[in-house]
Amino acid sequence: MEKEVFIEGIGMVTFRQSPKARHYSLKISKGKVLAVMPVGGNEALMRRFINENRARIETALVKHPERPPLDESTDLRATTFRVLICRSERKNFRMRLQDEVLSVECPSETCFSDTKVQELLRSMIERALRHEAKRLLPDRLSGLAGRYGFCFNEVKINNSKSHWGSCTSRKNINLSLSLMLLPWHLVDYVLLHELCHTVEMSHNDRFWALMDKVTDGRALAFRRELKEYHMLG
């Protein structure tokens, strides 16, 4: 059994009874709160459990707000294009990237509240972001490495939704396609961050001193600004 319950200060919470559940638990993902209880569980006890964990829930919701639906009102601006979603007389969905505009044409009867439609639109945008990331990021990374004297082994583009980038002990750098949702100065900040990890793997004082050196002392400011942006999710 499942139902939506409004909790003051938190918003809508999905209450779900699960035959696999042995105790009360909470799952928070993409701005949504799921409260799971054993079959026959007491709703009052679930509410009390939620209140006991209110601070954790509120912190998680601030870090990962619910993503808005993709529809005709979407104002999504990527590094190299903006997204325009519109209805058309077409019978199927079509995506076209031209003149810095990603046009996503949808059949006239499209229901944007449908989960499958949202997944399709998101996958189309991800495809465009991946194309741009592969086209631009490797060369940009190489350029920054050459300018500041870094060496790395290889670079790969992935669809990580938790890390903008990462660097292994073998100096292999992974970059998320979501980087293409950032302005260029923050893209460069992330690339430099990973390049600095080719020298210092830990976030120690030497690492941040190196980051300040390659960002003209603006590492902390860029780090704070980056927190204002979210991955596509």
pLDDT in tens, 3-39: 888 888 787 888 999 998 889 999 887 678 899 999 9
Q: What are phi and psi for residue 111, nearest 5 degrees?
A: -100, 105
d(CA 193, CA 214): 9
d(CA 58, CA 66): 12
d(CA 68, CA 74): 8
Confidence of residue 61 (pLDDT cuts 50, 70, 90): confident
* Structural contact between residues 68 and 20, judged by C-beta atoms closer than 8 angstroms: no
- The pLDDT, as a whole number, for residue 168 is 94
CATH number belonging to the domain at 134-226, selected among 3.40.630.10, 1.10.600.10, 3.40.50.12780, 3.30.2010.10: 3.30.2010.10
pLDDT in tens, 144-183: 999 999 999 999 999 988 789 999 999 999 999 999 999 9
Name residues whose C-beta falls within 8 Å of residue 64's C-beta, 6 or more positions apart in sequence: 28, 29, 30, 31, 230
Residues 42-72: b if buried by 16+ CB within 10 A, e if exposed: eeeebeebbeebeeebeebbeebeeeeebbe
The secondary structure of 2-19 as a DSSP string is EEEEEETTTEEEEEEEET
* Structural contact between residues 219 and 208, judged by C-beta atoms closer than 8 angstroms: yes
In 108-216, at which residue ranges do the beta strands (DSSP E only) sit? 154-158, 165-167, 172-176
> Hey, what are 134's tokens?
């592969």
d(CA 164, CA 143): 19
Assess whether pLDDT exceeds 80 at residue 1. Answer: no
Domain ranges (residues) in the chain: 2-63, 82-130, 134-226
In 75-214, at which residue ranges do the beta strands (DSSP E only) sit? 82-88, 94-98, 101-107, 154-158, 165-167, 172-176
- Grouping H, G, I as helix, E, B as strand and the rest as coil, residue 75 is coil
Of 218, 188, 223, the closest CA to residue 203 belongs to: 223
d(CA 167, CA 197): 6
* Structural contact between residues 211 and 204, judged by C-beta atoms closer than 8 angstroms: no
- The pLDDT, as a whole number, for residue 81 is 95
